[in-house]
Chains A and B, each alone.
Chain A
Amino acid sequence: MAVFSRQRLQHEMSNLIERSRDRQLRLAVTGLSRSGKTAFLSSLINQLRHAGVEARLDLLPAAREGRLLGARRVNQPDLEVPRFPYDQALKALGNTPPRWPSPTKGISELRLSLRFRPRRSTMLKAPTSTLTLDLIDYPGEWLLDLPLLQHDYDSWCRAQAAHRGEHREAFMAPFQDAVARLDPAAEACEDALAEIAERYAMGLKQAREAGFSNLQPGRFLLPGELAGAPVLQFFPLNLSKAEQQSCRQLPDTSVYATLAARFEHYRKQVVTPFYRDHFQRFDRQIVLVDLLGALNAGPERFEDLSAALAQLMQSFNYGKRHLLNRLFDSRIDRLAVAATKADHVTPDQHERLVRLLETLLAEPLKDLRYTNVPVKAFSLAAIRATDVREVHDAQGPSLALSGHSLGGKACLFFPGDVPTSLPDADFWAHQGFNFASFRPRPMTSTALDHIRMDSALDWLLGDKLQ
């Protein structure tokens, strides 16, 4: 008969309990293009890898109390999702001169296994616990497709016609020319459609380059693995309601029917699977916003960013009657919104940055509060590129940032105040904003320097490290 010592038995028990407990977390990071997703994830992985040694995570209680022992990369479970290019990102940062990591194009994933000592080790708890953390990075543009789920092709065309500003229209001119010459009733020609779709995608891309954000469909901007596939070769037609009615009778090979079929396919086979396979499995979510870039770009782009974010936040606003909740069962139980690149302004402006973010997201935040989704706003810099200095000149002491511009020139300046709400037209005409970009600091062997990553981490996973 096997003799179990009491200790051994206790060990077995605690293992069993650990396994049966919820020790897994899927943390999703999103944001529109150039909001700093890659930098955020690289820094997050870097901080956790160095946790317990030299990473400064003082606002994360588990790290501050020395209970966080470290993290290790382990193999991810979803084999068909690309791995997050952490090593490439670090290599870019470690270059001389250092570069920002190149942006990721689609969804990617990385799994970390965190070791920590629980706050109170009782009889039934093991001395150390493990938290499996899945980090998922996906483009925020994909979330802008959520409204497509409510549309059919006709209503989508009408909706697209409705929100066209004069600036955006300019980018769409080549596409509009081509589409005006297209007869919806004609036999569909694969190449012609591809060409017009290309113009449409070009228009969207140019609009994005110019700083617009609220652009649909999202996969036209970041096609991921779908580049060149016919499912991305559709576009809205300018038809009146009556014309649309008559077009419904057209045969399946007509232009109208082809486009409508592709739209339907996109909706069913591209948008829905993302929500079904990925979105619905996220536990925590952080949305990154580049406010400074939007302020630089001017009022029209800023309004557009606001609209895009409102659209994007819809995905998290899953009240009982919400579309998403009827289709899938979402389970995100904590949400963070963060204004990135906080190191590009002086520390006294951080609070104003958060207030501007809250003003910008006032409506979605109200809805989220109503549906009782805990959400918190942060200002952070995933990888800090500047130092704060106090400069004394004729006008007295003043805070200033010191760093290197993207071109490599050493600079020292005060970037200006961040507004707490959107200034009026007069201000834009006279002053405007000009927040400069910095290049990352040379890498050292220690953890990356950051601003408030630790408090974001505390909000996103602190409760699992108790």
Chain B
Amino acid sequence: MTDHRPRPGRHFTDQAATEDSQAPRLRPGRRFDPSLEQTPVDHSQWDPDQESLLEASGGAAADAGPGAARRPRHGLFAAVGGAILLGTLELLTALGNAWTSADLLGLAWGGLGLVILLIATRTLISEVARARRLDRHDRLREALARLPTATADDITESTRALARHLSLDQDAPDWQALRDALEPHHDGQETRDLLEHHLMVPRDRAAIRLISRMSSETAVMVAVSPLTLVDMALVAWRHLVMVNRITRLYGLELSRLGRIKLWRQILHDMAFAGAAEMATDTGIELLSLDLTGRLSARASQGLASGLLAARLGLRAQALCRPLPFTDATRPRLGDLRRKLWQRLRRLDDTA
């Protein structure tokens, strides 16, 4: 039987609270000898090549938010590494045997096996290295999303990490413009605005241009292509290329595994988040009904696949951009749609 009597009040000795009331001590002013060693606090001294804490493996941000820390699969790596090692040993002993027994065929097979193992090892290593870049990208995104409330050190850290991520060097014009604009007194939100303007906006513009061009070309291609099966293959190929280009634009070089991960995320977003967005993006159904009514059947097919490409591109852009979009800066599908429509109308009219 549980006891349901009301519990009596209790007194706690509030050690922490009493200590805390004395804690916010205000530091008094201090005078320094002007001849003392001093360095100006100036962002123009920043060196983007300097490694930041964010990038160091297992850095401070690694245990940041939910979903950030993906447990590395030690078991899997151990199994694969062990298999390679054992395979090498096995092959080496086999080679030794083949050599002593002068078995030429066996020697050739052993050599081939070794070469294959070498290639496999190299691929594995580069995959692992690139997979870490994706993790780093996630960490960077989180750090940048926290910018408005960050401390001065975190701001410096994140800014540097972003510059490195975009592989900017000391002389890159946008990096120089950013350094000129940044002042030591800028807080997180202000820094974010400046990063957005100097580093993200030019890349956004390029990305939108790319998406717009690729999607309208896809649309035209589908509209004029005579074979549906070939269309589908071509469209899929073009989508792959477009997403790859967008990732590279935002400084993200992906491994095969990473690409699969990214595609999974893009498709997931398009299926769920994207659906909600489309519903809010009012008028799209109405407009497209109206448009398809005025276009030929082929052109409207083209329009549909062009729109899909544009949506895919925007999704990929939103996922790859190190600084997450705000509502004001997010590019809209509507702008791209208008361009697509104009292009197809021209095509239809000439046909």
Contact = CB atoms under 8 A, between A and B. Distances in A.
Interface in B115-163: 152
- 10 tightest CB-CB pairs across the interface, nearest first? A416-B29, A347-B185, A417-B26, A58-B181, A389-B38, A413-B31, A388-B41, A412-B34, A414-B30, A412-B32
Contacts of A391: 32, 36-38
Interface residues of B, number: 27
Contacts of A451: 183, 185
A411 B41 contact: no
A427 interface: yes
A334 B28 CA distance: 37
30 contacts: A56-B180, A56-B181, A58-B181, A59-B186, A59-B190, A59-B194, A61-B197, A64-B181, A347-B152, A347-B185, A350-B187, A388-B184, A388-B185, A389-B40, A390-B38, A390-B40, A391-B38, A392-B37, A402-B38, A412-B32, A412-B33, A412-B36, A413-B30, A413-B31, A413-B32, A414-B27, A417-B26, A417-B27, A433-B29, A452-B185
A80 interface: no
Interface in A344-360: 347-348, 350-351
B39 interface: yes
Interface in A411-462: 411-419, 423, 427, 431, 433-436, 451-452, 455
B45 to A, nearest CB: 11
A435 B30 CA distance: 11
A371 interface: no
A410 interface: yes
A392 B33 CA distance: 11
B184 A347 contact: yes
A416 B39 contact: no
Given A59-B190, A434-B29, A455-B190, 7 more contacts: A56-B180, A59-B186, A390-B39, A392-B38, A392-B39, A413-B32, A418-B26
Provide the main secondary structure of the chain A interface: mixed
A59 B38 contact: no
Contacts of B183: 451
Count class of interface residues, chain A? 35 or more
B103 interface: no
Given A390-B41, A402-B38, A351 B33 contact: no
B193 interface: yes
A427 B26 contact: yes
Interface string A379-391: 0000000011111
Interface of B: 26-34, 36-41, 152, 180-181, 183-187, 190, 193-194, 197
A402 B181 contact: no
A65 B181 CA distance: 12
A368 to B, nearest CB: 22
Nearest to B33: A412
Contacts of B152: 347-348
A412 B33 CA distance: 7
B27 A416 contact: yes
Nearest to B27: A417
Contacts of B180: 56
B176 to A, nearest CB: 14
Nearest to B25: A417
A400 interface: yes
Nearest to B32: A412
Contacts of A58: 181, 194
Contacts of B32: 391, 393, 400, 412-414
A414 B36 contact: no
A388 B40 contact: yes
A434 B194 CA distance: 34
A419 B26 contact: yes
B181 to A, nearest CB: 4
B26 A389 contact: no
Nearest to A434: B29
Nearest to B40: A389
B38 A400 contact: yes
B41 A392 contact: no
B38 A416 contact: no
Contact of B34 (A61, A64, A402): A402
A435 B197 CA distance: 36
A441 to B, nearest CB: 14
A398 interface: yes
A348 B153 CA distance: 11
Given A64-B197, A348-B152, A400-B38, A414 B29 contact: yes
A413 B180 CA distance: 26
Contacts of B40: 387-390
A399 interface: yes
A388 B34 CA distance: 13
A417 B33 CA distance: 20
A50 to B, nearest CB: 15
A342 interface: yes
Contact of B38 (A412, A423, A434): A412
A391 B31 CA distance: 11
A202 to B, nearest CB: 34
A142 B221 CA distance: 72
A91 B165 CA distance: 48
Interface in A218-243: none
Contacts of A427: 26
A58 B26 CA distance: 32
Contacts of A59: 186, 190, 193-194
A11 B33 CA distance: 64
A145 to B, nearest CB: 36
B26 A416 contact: yes
B29 A413 contact: yes
